[in-house]
Structure 1
């Protein structure tokens, strides 16, 4: 994500109760205008009336996350804005003046978002597209009127930047809108119901065929991927399975059921060790006890995506590997031998990730700061393994011979993703 860090002097942080009311009331007024079919603008317009457009409610958790981001004075979207309940959409805007900052009105920025309707095609309401006429932005408008969004919360900051006074607002919406696959999911449900009524024997075939199509679209247009360092999803960049020619001589691909179990068991063993306060290593150590260390379970969807990336035999930073349920983090590692590749156990690579605990500062557990230690050691592999809120894991492996060594390349995907800046690695007892 490209962001701009402002040199600033904070004038005021936060929204007054009256500003909160202005924001929520204006959103609901504009949503109902659309619902009644009174919005004539568009490219083309008018916008169709809505059968279902509930009023938005203020949400303090969304507001707190938005305020935290606003206070950074960073112009860009917050990639870590999701909450446990749902994926979160976000609108941002700012106004500036050389005069009195109190002359800048919050409703002006809300109207800036909504007025993107002039570029929005009425024909795209049933199937969302993220660009309007002539590639004009329309996502702020569509998030405001997204029917399944029911909650919002905003944060704001007023600050001095050079010769200008600026008013910056961040609004978070949940459940987030602007999913490109929403129309396709509706179609999937309708098709399945039709097949049930016509011919029950055709149900399984219909479900498999349409589920695959919808799944591919999901990955290609996941909202969260647009903020990833490599936004293209691995399942879209590599739509078919099988090892890449980059791997050269492939010995085997995929994990056995026994290996899957051993990976999950080892992760839970290491997490429990930390939770009990038995990890004495660190820089400094020992690592503190945990009060919220969830038990990990295997997740087939995460494993499928991990296997697709492993089959590329790429040591580059990963593409987006998120799923609709949550954002995903990844550990990857390789081990080589001139002997029998089957002598390399997948647990060896997991322990290699975990052993970076020796470089981890126990004082950083309360608030994750970086994936590398101050001396440049990669501690993010360890912190992801013991991230308290992560409870799902899925891995893939390829064994191949790219040179004179036989290699085992292991990729593990974790969700909900850990290593989120400013959040606790786990809750300390």
Structure 2
């Protein structure tokens, strides 16, 4: 028999080398960057047999296709939400994936304080974890499952939040969904670690984004689908702007 639990926390292999000095105070303003004096390998909380799940071409395609399929659905107008005037196609970013790995290798289910890069000064983050015992879980399938669960928060998201992300919010969790649908986001990088705790095997999934939800700002601008795309539309993901469009 297989046992499974799923947890969410509020929106390259991930081991790529970087020349960025993550201890540079200009990256965070205050607080310490997750990559400053980052641990080598895995933290003690990960145990002895922790391993990275490779962010290979197949996994990247799964993550990007799932994100963009869901973003395109929203951009065309979905479940009473307005269509999006300018929703960029999400592209992979190796440095965002590397920084995500700094969190993942700690094996502690919590957001880091700062994950910015020189290119992306306001990076957002979504986290998920699955724990199971018995039959092994396919990491590719689990990544797609995590992304769908994040998107499914739309069921609890007031439509008014799309026009203005609230300064205070006390309702059901919606931050994963709104970050996935943010029209200022155009890059993503993720990392996944598998580790054991007692009889349980855990999959910890971290995705870092090129922008975060901004209080008082729209999640995306509603209007005629793709009417404000500056580089044309994506032929594969109907409703999204082309892959040349960034989130600025």
TM-score of Structure 1 vs Structure 2, range by shorter chain: 0.7 to 0.9
Whether the 8 Å contact between 1:250 and 1:398 is mirrored in structure 2 is no
Q: Paired residue for 1:392?
A: 187
Please list every run of 5 or more consecutive structure 2 residues that lacks an aligned counterpart in the other structure: 1-16, 224-248
Give the distance between the partners of 1:335 and 1:368, measured in 2 at CA. Answer: 29
Residue 317 of structure 1: CA displacement? 2.8
Residue 259 of structure 1: CA displacement? 1.0
Give the distance between the partners of 1:390 and 1:325, measured in 2 at CA. Answer: 12
- Taking structure 2 as the reference length, what is the TM-score of the superposition? 0.76
Give the distance between the partners of 1:350 and 1:293, measured in 2 at CA. Answer: 18
Give the distance between the partners of 1:312 and 1:296, measured in 2 at CA. Answer: 27
Residue 46 (structure 2) aligned to one of 247, 253, 276:
247
Residue 403 of structure 1: CA displacement? 2.8
Residue 243 of structure 1: CA displacement? 1.9
Higher RCO (C-alpha under 8 Å, 6+ residues apart): 2
Q: Tell me which protein shows more helix as a share of its residues.
A: 1
Report SS of the residue matched to 1:332: strand
Report SS of the residue matched to 2:85: coil
Residue 422 of structure 1: CA displacement? 1.1
Residue 249 of structure 1: CA displacement? 4.5
Q: Report matched runs for 1:341-360 at 5 Å.
A: 341-344=136-139, 345-360=142-157
Whether 1:315 and 2:99 are equivalent positions in the alignment is: no
Q: Paired residue for 1:226?
A: 29
Whether the 8 Å contact between 2:92 and 2:189 is mirrored in structure 1 is yes
Report SS of the residue matched to 1:340: coil
Give the distance between the partners of 1:269 and 1:332, measured in 2 at CA. Answer: 20
Whether the 8 Å contact between 1:234 and 1:320 is mirrored in structure 2 is yes
Q: Paired residue for 1:238?
A: 38
> Highest CA radius of gyration, 1 or 2?
1
Q: Paired residue for 1:302?
A: 96
Kindly provide the CA deviation profile for residues 78-107 of structure 1, in whole angstroms up to 9, marking residues without a partner as x.
Answer: xxxxxxxxxxxxxxxxxxxxxxxxxxxxxx
Q: Paired residue for 1:409?
A: 204
Going from structure 1 to structure 2, the CA distance change for 1:256 and 1:403 (only over 3 Å counts) comes to: farther
Going from structure 1 to structure 2, the CA distance change for 1:324 and 1:246 (only over 3 Å counts) comes to: same
Whether the 8 Å contact between 1:373 and 1:379 is mirrored in structure 2 is no
Residue 389 of structure 1: CA displacement? 1.1
Give the distance between the partners of 1:232 and 1:333, measured in 2 at CA. Answer: 23
Whether the 8 Å contact between 2:100 and 2:189 is mirrored in structure 1 is yes
Residue 75 (structure 2) aligned to one of 248, 259, 275:
275
Q: Report matched runs for 1:82-93 at 5 Å.
A: none
Aligned length: 203
Whether 1:364 and 2:194 are equivalent positions in the alignment is: no
Whether the 8 Å contact between 2:131 and 2:200 is mirrored in structure 1 is yes
Residue 133 (structure 2) aligned to one of 338, 343, 364:
338
Residue 293 (structure 1) aligned to one of 80, 87, 102:
87
Residue 324 (structure 1) aligned to one of 118, 121, 145:
118
Whether the 8 Å contact between 1:335 and 1:408 is mirrored in structure 2 is yes
